[in-house]
Amino acid sequence: MKQKYSPMMMQYLKIKEDNKDAIVMFRLGDFYEMFFDDAVIASKALELALTGKNAGVKERVPMCGVPFHSVSGYIQKLIDLGHKVAIVEQLTDPGKKGIVERGVVQIVTPGTIMDGSLNEKRNHYIGALGVFDFNYTLAYCDISTGEFYVVNIDKQEHLLKNQIDSLGLRELVVDEDIHFDQVFISQYYNDKFNDSYKKVFENIKDLKEIKVCSILLNYMLETQKRELGHIQVIQEVKTEDFIYMDSYTKKSLELVKNADNESYGTLQWLLDDTKSAMGGRLLRQWIERPLINQEKIERRMDIIEILIDNFIERETIKDIINDIYDIEKLAGRIAFGNVNARDLKWIAASLKVIPELKHQLLSLDNQYTHSLAEQLLDLTHITDLIDQAIVDNPPLTIKEGGLIKDGYNEELDELRYIRENGKQWLSEFEQKERERTGIKGLKIGYNRVFGYYIEVTKSYLPMIKDEFEYTRKQSISNAERFVTPELKEMEAKILSAHDKMVALEYEIFVQMREYIKKDVHSIQDVASVVAQVDVYQSLASKASHNGYVRPTFNDQHIVDITNGRHGVIEQVISRQNYVPNDLHIENDAPILLITGPNMGGKSTYMRQIALCVIMAQIGSFVPCEHANLPVFDQIFTRIGASDDLISGQSTFMVEMLEANNALRYASQDSLIIFDEIGRGTATFDGMAIAQAMIEYIATSIRCVTLFSTHYHELTMMDEKFKIQNVHASASVEGDHIVFLYKIKPGRSHRSYGINVAQLAKLPDEVIARAKIILKSLEDNNIETVISETVEQPVIVQKESEVEKTLSRIDPMALSPIDALSTLIELKKLL
C-alpha cells in the first residue's frame, strides 16, 4: 500500500514526478527546500546540513534548504556541477485558507542561466543539433543577450566537434542519444513553429534551419516559463565566410585562452582595450572567426585608420563608451522580467550619452562612421521616463518600496503624505470638527478594536446633529464614541498606506518595465553599434600605441613581412628588447624549413606569423613595419608536445592526429605551421614521416607552410622541392651559447643541444661525457670510447672491411671470373 504523505508533501511529489531530471527547489516561506534524493545530492554539493521533515508518515523525509534571498549562488553551483534546477514558487497568498498553491516558474539549466554577471566579455551559449543526411545544423543562442545563430556544417564529425568546442557550448539540446565531452546534453523534441516569434525567423528560409532553431526556441520557452521578447533575429553563420581553425590551432596559438585557461598573454588580452562588455564580447567573436572576404576586412581597416588619424575624437569616443553599461544584457533582463530599479538607472545613464557618441561619429566625416552613427536611435523617451520616475539610488529589491520619486504619481504622493502626515491630519481634523460642531471638548482617539474614533462626553451629546453624519461606535461610562465617513476613510488610508505604497510602487515599476519592453530590440540595436564602435576604437588604440601598420593583400600567395614581431611577447618583455624578423615567401617556393637550436626562437617566429595573419584578417593592423599577405582560408598548426593523458593518447599520437587534419583538409590558400613533427617517435621513423609530409605538401597541397625541424638531413630537400631554408641563429662564446633570435637565410649546421643542456645546468660530468659521445658519433670510426674513469662502450657503426674493399673495386675493370671470385671473397669477409 502506498504511503500517505501530508498534503504539502503530496504536492511536492506531484511536481517532482513531472521534473524527474531536475533538482526541485520547493519554496516554503523564506526558504527553498529540497527533499528525498534531491536533498541528499544537494546537501553534499552545497555543503548543507541534511535534516529530516515529518511528512505524515512514520519515517522522516530527508530535507535540506537554502534562504530564498541568496538562492542564486546555490543554483549557480548546482548548474556548474551539471544539474538542472526546477524552481517552485508559492502562487497564492500563504494567508488564505487551505494549502498554498505552488508551481514550477522556471527550470534553470547549464545553458539557460540568466543570473550571470553583467560586464562579462564572453558569451554563454546553449545549442540545438539537427543531424541530416548530408550535414549537421547547429543552432545556438546566448539567452542573456538574445543573440541567436544557426550554422550548417558538412557531415564530418571533426567539424562538428570543433564547432562545439570553439563555441564553448554549456548545453546541447538533441533529439537522439549523442555524447560530447564537457557538454551537458538535454534530450528534447518539439520542432513546432511558433507563430508569435515569426520575426525572429525572418532571415532564414531553409526548412532544416527553421526546424533546429524551433527546437532550441521551444526548449528555452518551456524551461523559462515566460515570453522571451528579447530574442534577436536569427543570423545564419556561413562557415565559408571565416577562416577555419580547429580547436588544436586555437589552443596552440592562445587566441582567447592560455595554457592555464586564463586570458593573460592571449591575442584577446593583447587587442582588448574595449570599454564595454558588448565590445569585449564582439572582439572575442572577431578573434575566433577571422574574415575571408577582403572587402569586409578592408572596410574594418578603413574605420580603424580613421580613428588612428583622429586621436581627440577617438579618446572622446572611448570616454563616452566607458560610461555605457552592459545594455545588451540589461535589455534581456527587461524582457525576461528580472530587471531591478538600479538596472533601469544604468540603462538611462547609458542611453543618455548615445547622442554625444552619434555626434562624435558624424564629426569624423566618413561614409562608414556616418553609417554607424545613423543606426544610433534616439531613445530619450526611455531616459526621460526613468529619470522622472526612479529615485537616484534605488534599492535592489523591487517589492519593498522606495523606488519611485515624489511627484511622479499623485496617488502615491497622497499615500506618502498620509503615512508621513497622519498625526498632523488627525490634529487638524479634530480642530475642524470642534469648530464645525461647536463641541470644545471633542477629541480624536484610537484603539486596536475600533480604530480611530471621535469621543464626545455625555454633556455635549445634545449638540450632535444629523448633518454631522456621526455614527455611534461605542458607549463608555461618561462619553460616547463616534465615527464619520471621512474619519473612517482616513483610518483606512493611514493604516494601509504603507502596504498600498509598496504595492503601488511595484505596480508603477511593472508598468514602466512593460513600456520599456516594447523598445528592447531598439536598445539591442544601439548596443550592437556601441559594440562595433568599441572594437574599432580598441584596435585603433592598440595599433597607435604599439606601432602596428596596415597590411596589404595579394592573390599571388606572396607573404612579405618586414620586421615582424610577436605582439604578445613584445608586450611581456617590452618592445625595445624584442628582436624583429622578416619573412618572404613566393608562390613558387611556399615551404619554409626552419632549423636552429631549441630556445632559439623558431616557435615564436612561426606563431608570430600566424598571429599576424589572424590579426590582419579580423581587420586589425599588424605588428611589423610592412606586411603584404594573401587572404588565407584555413590555418592549421602543430606546435608543442603534450600527451593527451585523459584519452590515453601519447605525444606522437596527438601529433599525428593534428597533422592529419592539415594534410587532409588544407587547400592551396591555407597556412600550415608544423613545429618539430616526428620528434615523438624513433629518430629514423620521425625523419621519414617529416620528409614524407614535406614532400606531400610540396607536391599535392602547395600552400604556405612553416616547418621547423631538428632533422638537418631534411634541409637537403631544398633543390628538388623548391624549399626555402632559414635558421634561428646563435653564437657560441667559449662553452656558452648566445641566442640571437634572428632568423637568417640558409640551413643551420648544428643543433647546439649540448650548449642548451649547459644552460639548463646539467652536471658537468654529463656534459663532458655527451661531448665525447657526440664527437665519436660524428667521426663514426671508433668502436669504443673510454672515459677517464669507466670503460663505457658507445654503439657506433664502424666502417666494415667489406665496405673498405668495395670502395676500392672498379666493377668495369673486372672480368666475369674476377667478379665471381671477388664476390666469394666479400662473402667470406662478411
Are 744 and 768 in the same domain?
Answer: no
- What is the reported pLDDT for 495? 82
In 3D space, the residue among 544, 547, 581, 549 whose CA is nearest the CA of residue 564 turns out to be 581
Cα 785 to Cα 779: distance, rounded to the nearest angstrom? 12
Are 584 and 645 in the same domain?
Answer: yes
Are 70 and 154 in the same domain?
Answer: no
531 membership: H or E segment, kind and range = helix 520-546
CATH of the domain at 500: 1.10.1420.10
| Residue 697 within any structural domain of the chain | yes
| Known binding residues for ATP | 596-603
- What is the reported pLDDT for 198? 96
- What is the reported pLDDT for 480? 95
Cα 500 to Cα 508: distance, rounded to the nearest angstrom? 12
| Residue 466 within any structural domain of the chain | yes
Are 768 and 715 in the same domain?
Answer: no
| Residue 257 within any structural domain of the chain | no
Q: The C-alpha cell of 811 is what? A: 666493377
- What is the reported pLDDT for 773? 79
| Residue 440 within any structural domain of the chain | yes
Last residue of a domain, one of 84, 108, 132: 108
List average pLDDT for each run of 10 residues in the chain, which is 830 residues long: 76 96 95 96 96 84 94 93 95 80 95 78 94 96 96 93 92 85 88 96 96 97 95 96 93 91 94 97 97 98 98 98 96 93 97 97 94 96 97 92 95 87 89 95 89 94 93 93 93 84 95 96 98 98 98 97 96 84 94 90 94 98 98 91 50 81 94 86 81 93 94 84 90 79 86 76 83 74 42 50 75 75 75
Are 501 and 525 in the same domain?
Answer: no
In 3D space, the residue among 155, 140, 116, 269 whose CA is nearest the CA of residue 213 turns out to be 140
DSSP letter string, 580-603? -EEEEE-TT--EEEEE--TTSSHH
Q: What distance lies between CA 392 and its chain's CA centroid?
A: 33
Residues 6+ apart with CB under 8 A from 404: 389, 390, 391, 412, 505, 508, 509
| Residue 198 within any structural domain of the chain | yes
Are 571 and 719 in the same domain?
Answer: yes
| Residue 392 within any structural domain of the chain | no
- What is the reported pLDDT for 770? 80
| Residue 804 within any structural domain of the chain | no
DSSP letter string, 726-772? EEEEEEEETTEEEEEEEEEES--S---HHHHHHHTT--HHHHHHHHH
CATH of the domain at 213: 3.30.420.110
- What is the reported pLDDT for 411? 93
Are 219 and 342 in the same domain?
Answer: no
> What pairing do the DSSP bridges indicate for beta strands 471-476 and 479-483?
antiparallel
Are 608 and 727 in the same domain?
Answer: yes
Please give the model's pTM, rounded to 2 decimal places.
Answer: 0.85
Are 542 and 620 in the same domain?
Answer: no
Are 372 and 509 in the same domain?
Answer: no
Are 333 and 309 in the same domain?
Answer: yes
| Residue 256 within any structural domain of the chain | no
Q: Which segments of 760-809 does DSSP mark as H helices, in order?
A: 764-779, 801-808
CATH of the domain at 599: 3.40.50.300
| Known binding residues | 596-603
Are 246 and 354 in contact, with CB atoms under 8 Å apart?
Answer: no
Are 202 and 338 in the same domain?
Answer: no
Range of the domain at 103: 7-108
Question: Can you list the positions of beta strands (E) in 161-292?
Answer: 171-174, 184-187, 235-237, 244-245
First-to-final CA distance of the chain: 93
Q: Residue 1 has what DSSP assignment?
A: -
Please tell me the total count of domains within the chain.
6
β-sheet bridge partners, residue 723: 591
